[in-house]
Amino acid sequence: MADNATKPLRIAIAGLGTVGAGVIRLLDTNGALIAARAGRAIEVVAVSARDRGKDRGVDIARFAWEDDMIALARRDDVDVVVELVGGSDGPALALSRAALSGGKGLVTANKAMIAHHGLELAEMAEAANAALKFEAAVAGGIPVIKGLREGTSANVITKVYGILNGTCNYILSEMEATGADFAAVLAEAQRLGYAEADPAFDIEGVDAGQKLSILAAIGFGTRIDFPGVRISGITAVRAADIAQADALGFVIRLIGEADVEETSQGPRLLQRVRPCLVAKGHPLSAVDGPTNAVVAEGNFSGRLLFQGPGAGDGPTASAVAADLIDIARDEVGAPFSIPVANLAALPPAEPGHRTERTYLRFMVKDRPGVLAELTAAMRDGDVSIESLIQQGRSSGGGEVMVAMVTHEGREANVTRALGLLEGSGSLTAAPLVLPILPR
């Protein structure tokens, strides 16, 4: 530490999009404050990106330029590489491997790369006694990784859950506010820049699943298992579901949740992303727009809520800079709280025996006997119906919506009841299943 006290931390940035430019802007604006808090200056010495001549709103002429990102990672005057290229593989992964194999620290905002290759990179970092930091990979500027890794390090974390994708949260809360259907709100989100031109990664729940797998690994001391995340997106949610949820005292949010279950065969890890009904008054019900929120429940800390902007150049740059400050202070530590060799490899949990209340929506043909068919399937599946709502009959004998809320019961029972309806000529679309998040 003493040897580094008067030396600046020299960094190289790969990727000069909105976040990369934001990091440079933040270091320029708050450089003196950062140096005071870090104990030494943090200086950009080299950069790399696709287009050297692009106007990014910051002066990059003062930094050395490398066309080859691997050469950037191998520069002798660089202590830490900041990877802001993106993508789970390809150039980002090659850059990261080059940096860590050379003993340099690595800071990344790349949740896809960490979800797929985080254990490999962590092993490389530990072997080289180099820092691997990825606060910006989950929930933008919210210090949730630091909160789990450090703030709750004395706790057994019993559950981690929350709203992990700002695009989905914007779409659902706008549908709630305007009454518009999914397609119209998605188009508006794309126009405003909240959704990509190809939004599948977000709206199908993949982005949230990657973030959840990272949080679960840190919170529970387990090996990352992104393939083990059960994922359902929001594309099937209709404006009518939003309205019906509101009438019942709920909002709909895409929720990622994870916990470890003790079974007779040993512990099992449950990770899933799915749209849920959230009761008005629950801390997550008021989270709207492109905001993220994460709840962690510790056995001594109790319920903790982390909330804030989940993306954007300023919040993400802030998280990157926070990681750099930790490295400047020589705070390395195990990337996933404990050494990779000690992370538990847990099989995925089977949730069928778990109990919950469920919202079920059916689009059915407007004809006699359909309601009896639905309720018979619920009866035969041992699903108890708490309430049933049927919309008024259609004018042309087309389709109508039937919504049910079940009493608390086993998830497997709902699955069995829906299986009895498979292939039914009465259904005009696949049923929508939305669990009700416990308070």
Q: What is the share, in percent, of the chain residues with pLDDT greater than 70?
A: 97
Structure pTM?
0.94
Task: Quick: pLDDT tens for 266-301.
Answer: 999 999 999 999 999 999 999 999 999 999 999 999
What pLDDT score was predicted for residue 195?
A: 87
Task: Note the pLDDT of residue 439.
Answer: 81
Average pLDDT, integer, range 380-388:
96
Amino acid 312: pLDDT: 83
Residue type, 359: Y
Q: What is the pLDDT of residue 3?
A: 55
**Residue 438 C-alpha from the chain's centroid:** 20
SS3 169: helix
Tell me if 135 sits within 8 A of 323, measured CB to CB. yes
**pLDDT score for 2:** 45
Q: Which band of pLDDT confidence, cut at 50, 70 and 90, is reported for residue 4?
A: low
- Catalytic residue set: 211
pLDDT computed for residue 393 by the predictor = 62
User: Would you state the pLDDT for residue 392?
Assistant: 65
Whole-angstrom distance, CA of residue 20 vs CA of residue 56: 9
List, as one string, the DSSP characters of 48-83: E-S-TT---SS--TTSEE-SSHHHHHT-TT-SEEEE
Report the pLDDT averaged over residues 174-202.
92
Which pLDDT value is given to residue 433? 97
Residue 5: pLDDT band by 50, 70, 90 thresholds? low
Q: Which domains does the chain have, with CATH numbers?
A: 2-137 (3.40.50.720), 144-309 (3.30.360.10), 352-435 (3.30.70.260)
Lowest mean pLDDT among 373-382, 385-394, 420-429: 385-394
Average pLDDT score over residue span 105-133:
97
Spatial separation of the C-alpha atoms in residues 168 and 162, rounded to whole Å: 12
Q: What is the pLDDT of residues 364-375, one digit of tens each?
A: 999 999 999 999
Supply φ then ψ for residue 44, to 5 degrees.
-80, 125
Mean pLDDT, residues 308-323: 91
pLDDT(24) > 60: yes
What pLDDT was estimated at residue 332?
Answer: 87
- The reported pLDDT for the residue numbered 398 is 84
Q: Which of 41-50, 79-88, 308-317, 325-334 has the lowest mean pLDDT?
A: 308-317
Judge whether residue 1 has pLDDT over 50. Answer: no
- Coil/strand/helix, residue 398: coil
Average pLDDT over residues 428-434: 96
Alpha-carbon Rg for the chain in angstroms: 24
Whether residue 395 has pLDDT greater than 70: no
